[in-house]
Amino acid sequence: MKKLEFWFEFASTYSYPAAMRVEAVAEKSGVQVLWRPFLLGPVFKKQGWNDSPFNLYPDKGRYMWRDLQRVCEKQGIPFNKPSVFPRNGLLAARIASRFAGEAWTPEFIRQIYRANFDLDLDISSPDIVSQCLVNLDQNPEDTINRAEHAESKEKLKQQTERAQQLGIFGAPSFIVEGELFWGNDRLEAALEWSGQLQRI
């Protein structure tokens, strides 16, 4: 079975529609999704940015929010502009990284994205993250403790370094058979590259 690496960051706006649809689109094409959370902060810092480029460049930011709204409408995904942007997704990313192989993790990722970009909830809060875990019948205290373990922190850090080694400079990014694609609107191109795209 061919594989699609899906590199995402919880604060990233266009990662939201990508995260919501990647599994359905890939599975329809017979391609397995490998979920790869990472942190954009260190990647942006390397480019000299201490904030999201959508905040640093207001015209670009204004456009992005409008475009994201249109994209979500077209995909039938609920969207409400978060009152805080970007939100810190570090805890959620550590969980998604630590429990990458678990059956509940893709739905956990989608719940965190919905909390941020639909329900306007503070995903940096352990309470909100716990609620998402409870919804999936996971023990929140135990899960968070294990995700905050030194080894788990190191795992996410290494994955972020790996992203940079792979030439990733933004999110979402897709890698299929060594080929890099950047942006929610490149998901279909990535699947075409695998020779597997089946349009829904």
CA angle 82, 5, 111 (to 5 degrees): 35
By the rule CB under 8 A, 189 interacts with a copy of itself: yes
The residue count for binding a copy of itself (CB under 8 A) is 21
* Region of 5-13, 28-36, 53-61, 115-123 interacting with a copy of itself (CB under 8 A): 53-61
Of 45, 70, 149, 162, the one binding a copy of itself (CB under 8 A) is: 70
C-alpha closest to that of 35 among 58, 4, 2: 4
- Does residue 86 contact residue 93 with C-beta atoms inside 8 Å? no
> What is the Cα–Cα distance from 12 to 179, expressed in whole angstroms?
21
Nearer to a copy of itself, 62 or 81 (CB): 62
By the rule CB under 8 A, 167 interacts with a copy of itself: yes
Of 34, 100, 136, 180, the one binding a copy of itself (CB under 8 A) is: 180
- Secondary structure (DSSP) of 64-122: HHHHHHHHHHHHT------SSSS---HHHHHHHHHTTTSTTHHHHHHHHHHHHHTS---
By the rule CB under 8 A, 195 interacts with a copy of itself: no
Of 24, 27, 45, 66, the one binding a copy of itself (CB under 8 A) is: 66
List 2's β-bridge partners, or say none: 31
* Region of 25-33, 59-67, 87-95, 125-133 interacting with a copy of itself (CB under 8 A): 59-67
**Site residues (CB under 8 A) for a copy of itself?**
47, 57, 59-60, 62-63, 66-67, 70, 74, 164, 167-170, 180-182, 185-186, 189
